[in-house]
Amino acid sequence: MEQGLKVERISKVFPGTKALDNVDLHVSYGKVTVLVGENGAGKSVLMKVLSGVYQPDGGQMWLDGESYHPTGPTEATERGIVLINQELSLLPNLSVEENIFLGRQPMRGLAIDRKTMRREASSLLKQVGLEVDPSTIAGKLSVAVQQQVEIAKALSQKPRLLIFDEATASLGEDETERLYGIVSKLKSDNVGIVWITHRLIEIPRVGDNLVVFRDGQLVHSWDHINVPESEIIMAMVGRSLESIFKVPHEPADRTLLEVQGFSQTPYFEAVNFSLRAGEILGIAGLVGSGRTRLARALAGVSIAGAGTVSLNGKTIRIRTPKDAVDAGIVLVPEDRKDQGVAQIMTVQDNLMMPSLYSMGPLLRFGLMKNVAKDLAEKLKVKGHLHQVTATLSGGNKQKIVIAKWLPLNPKVLIFDEPTRGIDVGARASVYETIRGLAESGVGIIVISSELPEVLGLSNRILVMNKGRQTGILDRSKATEQAVMTLAVR
Amino acid sequence: MTIETAPKPTTSVGGAQRSWRDLLPSAAGPLIALILLITASSFMSDSFLTLTNIFNIGQQVAVLAILALGGTAVILIGGIDLSVGSVVGLSGAICGYVYVVLHQPIWIAALAALVVGLAAGTINGALITVWKLPPFIATLAMLSVARGLSLVVLDGKPLSGFPDGFRNLAIYYFGGIVPSAVVVVVVVFAIGIAYLKWRPSGRALYAIGGNEEVARLSGLPVNRLKISVYALAGVMAGIGGLLLTARLDSAQPTAGTGLELDVIAAVVIGGASLTGGVGTLSGTVFGVLIIGVLRNGLNLLNVSSFWQQVIIGVVIAVAILIENFRLRSKKAKQLGSKKAKPGRKSTTQGMEG
């Protein structure tokens, strides 16, 4: 009888796509299997099949030699398999302990045994290394802390197999280290672990063996982790990374945007840089370094406390998004689902939204349709103009967010994590668009947590750490090492 | 499989063809319901389908219709206005006070009524945009304040003595048949429909209702538009107050009580979504007429007004059920899966990781 979880020829089909294609996988107790792959490769789908959220369309699963076919997450949990989601699923209006024991509160007769709940919650939180009062309301906690509460919740279910799906996505360095420690301890308790990530640096820290997904298939597996990075990337992407990034063109000499002494306490302070026409300035830094706050302040979404911003030599006052947009500074936000597109509106409506007031006193429907059609074609948006935007893929939504600004002829385009959650194909398309815009003289600022992306795109890289600007690197001097050094200084 | 096209359910889904259903305006549903209702009523009572009765209905729902125009705009941006009924009462009260007690010319009294409506609406708008009060709370407070002020101004008693010219607002018949109230409604709605369709601000309201933050980030003047919408609702309430006062030939302190709920009912039956971004003025017209025809028909059948209220409540619920069903199947068709339901993780969400 084989111990652990074994799946054979698992398939899962969604309308229009085969999300999982004959996947075989074996997870042993006491070991960490690292699963890497680009977004959309199928990792999360497989995990949802394993944890009972989805039903497979084909294939078999065995747990310790016995047939395993959970009809829902509850059954999976009963059999000892727990998934820690990428997306936070805590109920923000309930307390930490209520969240941990949701639906499974310790009872004393007819009433909830609050003393036991408090005691057990405290012990779990201590295990995870959190010093939070269990009665704190979950919604008040930071994303990183919420993620750790999720881990505590998973631990409370006494799992035999724990699946971490991009668990470090919102964690800072210290919290990540602590998480590695928890994983170590779980291993020694003979818990089997699946660790999903797209950050290759995590592999040597936690992994025992490595599996690569691409396009719904398990393309390669190793029973060790000493695999050269280039080989892993090759398996993930199907081609070498260099070909996605072309060398950016030389920007013009004239200064387009000048930012001095830009501050917004307590999020960032004393940011100084200038942006030339046609230049791509990358902004790198760890999670929480203030980059998004900086972008939002430049775009008028929030108000900076101090500093000056001048465009083409003229100082401008930015207090609302309208001020920024009117001046020619536009933002492609980090959260495209809620801030980039209006999900319930059609593709055309979203594309034309910023242009509503630039057509004169009366709207011109023929013109709007033609402009929208033009934009969709230019950026290769796969969708019909009258389609509801919510039904488009992440990559296409992002293209809409970028395209909608073009009719306004913006001077500066700020991208915040432009390719998060987008598959490789659409990613290349977004890079092409960014390059094209730079070549036409637009100033570009790209915030990204993906070092290869920042290094590949930018003429210069501004690095931030905890709200301070730690340096600006020229492309010729920018290496992963150099950037990381500045990011943690 | 090439790298270029990773497997994602993008647009092969949804089809290149729009079904005939998509081409119909969203107001088609309420229109069909209205036609059915009229047909049924004309069978059940001989006196229904007469010109007099039709215009009777028009006159009865005129005030509701005018308020519902403002209500549509408010609901379009995802807001709500519970104060319109009270503002109707307050405007009428002010009109009465200025004319009868302060002895000012009637046109100044009417103007004062409109200014009061505008002020009430603008205060609502400011509370909601600048001080960030939830619309429900802000307009609930105004409901109370406006009603209280009407009682104060009229000292709790009705006020009469309006000139004939003023009464004509409500009881004049053009060519002997078409009530002036109906003419007012037609004019106001014609302007409204044109505005929503042709003006950038009109389209911008849909954007705000669709996603206010996205609209704001797109550089649209969101705060200005929101305040204007609530101000508009206030002015409409002012006009409604004048019409009602003219019809009754007296300013009543309790005039308009409960109207705001009828407004919401009419707008929602007409196809608007309470979460915003969906709805049309023509739909609202049909919604108003459905309520009017229902009441009128039930009256002709001698159904008690108590039961009428029950029936109207049921109609509202059914209207929403039908609308939900329509939206659900539309989204399911576009996603290509018969199982897609709102609230369940859709396929695109799952893939985005």
Tokens at B220, concatenated: 């649209």
Q: pLDDT per residue over B231-276, tens digit each?
A: 999 999 999 999 999 999 999 999 999 999 999 999 999 989 889 9
At B265 the three-state DSSP class reads helix
Q: Does A240 touch chain B (CB under 8 A)?
A: no
Instruction: Report, as an integer, the average pLDDT of A82-103.
Output: 86
Structure-model confidence comparison of residues A198 and B97, the more confident one: B97
In which band, very low, low, confident or very high, does the pLDDT at B331 lie, cut at 50, 70 and 90?
Answer: low
Q: CA B256, CA B244: separation in Å to the nearest integer?
A: 8
Q: CA B49, CA B159: separation in Å to the nearest integer?
A: 36
Flag whether B129 is in a domain: yes
Domains of chain B: total? 1
- Give me chain B's average pLDDT, please: 85
Report pLDDT for A439: 93
In which band, very low, low, confident or very high, does the pLDDT at A482 lie, cut at 50, 70 and 90?
Answer: confident
The β-bridge relationship of strands A192-197 and A32-36 is parallel
Largest CA distance in chain A: 77
Report pLDDT for A411: 96
Closest C-alpha to B287, from B84, B50, B75: B75
Which residues of chain A lie closer than 8 angstroms to B197, CB-CB?
363
Report pLDDT for A242: 54
Does residue B167 register a pLDDT over 50? yes
Q: Where residue B118 sits, what CATH number does that domain have?
A: 1.10.3470
Task: Give bridge partners of residue A163 from the DSSP assignment.
Answer: A83, A194
Q: Find the residue in B nearest to A393 (Cα).
A: B10
Question: In A90-182, which ranges are E strands?
Answer: 107-108, 111-112, 161-165
Please name the residues between 60 and 79 in chain A that touch chain B, using a CB distance below 8 Å. Answer: none
**DSSP state, A59?**
E
Q: What order of strands is seen across the sheet that includes strand A32-36?
A: A81-84, A161-165, A192-197, A32-36, A209-214, A217-222
Q: CA A210, CA A225: separation in Å to the nearest integer?
A: 6
Question: In chain B, which ranges are E strands?
Answer: 159-160, 173-174, 178-179, 250-251
ipTM rounded to 2 decimals: 0.81
Question: In B169-276, which ranges are E strands?
Answer: 173-174, 178-179, 250-251
- Residues above pLDDT 90, as percent of chain A: 49
Domain, as residue range, for B213: 27-36+50-328
Q: Return the half-sphere exposure (C-beta side, CA atoms, 13 A cut-off) of residue A226.
A: 0
Does residue B334 register a pLDDT over 80? no
In which band, very low, low, confident or very high, does the pLDDT at B19 lie, cut at 50, 70 and 90?
Answer: low
Task: Measure the CA dihedral A386/A389/A393/A397, to 10°.
Answer: 110
In which band, very low, low, confident or very high, does the pLDDT at B171 lie, cut at 50, 70 and 90?
Answer: confident
Report pLDDT for B342: 38
Identity at B124, one-letter amino acid code: N
Residues constituting chain A: 489
Flag whether B208 is in a domain: yes
Cα dihedral sign for B324, B26, A368, A256?
Answer: negative
Q: CA A401, CA A376: separation in Å to the nearest integer?
A: 11
**DSSP state, B46?**
T
Report pLDDT for A349: 95
User: Between A15, A350, A384, which is nearest B16 by CB?
Assistant: A384
Tokens at B217, concatenated: 């980030």
Contact assignment for B351 to A343 by CB distance below 8 Å: no
Does residue A449 register a pLDDT over 60? yes
Does residue A118 register a pLDDT over 80? yes
Q: Work out the minimum CA distance from A324 to partner chain B, whole angstroms.
A: 8
C-alpha separations of A411 from A116, A214, A448, B261 in Å: 60, 38, 20, 48
The β-bridge relationship of strands A314-316 and B159-160 is unpaired
Q: CA B287, CA B266: separation in Å to the nearest integer?
A: 4
Does residue A331 register a pLDDT over 50? yes
Cα dihedral sign for A380, A382, A385, A388?
Answer: negative
Ranges A32-36, A198-202, B42-46, most confident: A32-36
In which band, very low, low, confident or very high, does the pLDDT at B3 lie, cut at 50, 70 and 90?
Answer: very low
Report pLDDT for A385: 92
Ranges A115-119, A415-419, B46-50, B187-191, most confident: B187-191
- Give me chain A's average pLDDT, please: 88
Q: pLDDT per residue over A205-216, tens digit each?
A: 899 999 998 878
Q: pLDDT per residue over B128-153, tens digit each?
A: 999 999 999 999 999 999 999 999 99
Q: Work out the minimum CA distance from A214 to partner chain B, whole angstroms.
A: 9
Q: pLDDT per residue over A378-427, tens digit each?
A: 988 888 899 889 888 777 889 999 999 999 999 999 999 998 767 666 78
Q: pLDDT per residue over A31-79, tens digit each?
A: 999 998 876 678 888 988 998 888 999 999 999 989 999 988 889 988 9
Q: CA B280, CA B24: separation in Å to the nearest integer?
A: 13
Closest C-alpha to A288, from A85, A139, A487, A421: A487
Contact assignment for B215 to A387 by CB distance below 8 Å: no
User: Between B1, B207, B215, which is nearest A215 by CB?
Assistant: B1
Flag whether B316 is in a domain: yes
Report pLDDT for A178: 84
In which band, very low, low, confident or very high, does the pLDDT at B335 lie, cut at 50, 70 and 90?
Answer: low
Does residue B44 register a pLDDT over 70? yes
Contact assignment for B277 to A342 by CB distance below 8 Å: yes
* CB atoms closer than 10 angstroms to residue A203: 20
Contact assignment for B18 to A333 by CB distance below 8 Å: no
Q: Which residue segments constitute the domains of chain A, with CATH numbers given?
A: 5-239 (3.40.50.300), 244-488 (3.40.50.300)
Q: CA B290, CA B293: separation in Å to the nearest integer?
A: 5
Q: Could you tell me if B225 and B201 are in contact, meaning their C-beta atoms sit under 8 angstroms apart?
A: yes
Tokens at B175, concatenated: 């060519």
Task: Measure the CA dihedral A139/A145/A146/A147, to 10°.
Answer: 160
Q: Does A162 touch chain B (CB under 8 A)?
A: no
Ranges A15-24, A236-245, A400-409, B56-65, most confident: A400-409
Flag whether B333 is in a domain: no
Q: CA A400, CA A340: separation in Å to the nearest integer?
A: 8
Per-residue H/E/C for A162-189 = EEEECCCCCCCHHHHHHHHHHHHHHHHC
Q: Work out the minimum CA distance from B17 to partner chain A, whole angstroms.
A: 10
Report pLDDT for B37: 86
Contact assignment for B10 to A321 by CB distance below 8 Å: no
Q: Does A410 touch chain B (CB under 8 A)?
A: no
Ranges A106-115, A452-461, B215-224, B290-299, most confident: B215-224
- Residues above pLDDT 70, as percent of chain A: 96
Q: Could you tell me if A207 and A32 are in contact, meaning their C-beta atoms sit under 8 angstroms apart?
A: yes
At B25 the three-state DSSP class reads coil
Q: What backbone phi and psi angles, to 5 degrees, belong to A34? A: -95, 130
Closest C-alpha to A354, from A374, A336, A340, A343: A340
Flag whether B6 is in a domain: no
Q: Find the residue in B nearest to A428 (Cα).
A: B4
User: Between A44, A363, A425, which is nearest B199 by CB?
Assistant: A363
Tell me if the bond preceding A418 is cis, omega within 30° of 0: no
Does residue A199 register a pLDDT over 80? no
Flag whether B145 is in a domain: yes
Q: CA A321, CA B292: separation in Å to the nearest integer?
A: 44
Which residues of chain A lie closer than 8 angstroms to B332, CB-CB?
none
Q: pLDDT per residue over B195-232, tens digit each?
A: 999 999 999 999 999 999 999 999 999 999 999 999 99
Report pLDDT for A408: 95
Does residue B74 register a pLDDT over 80? yes
Name the helix (H) or strand (E) containing A6: strand A5-14
Q: Does A192 touch chain B (CB under 8 A)?
A: no
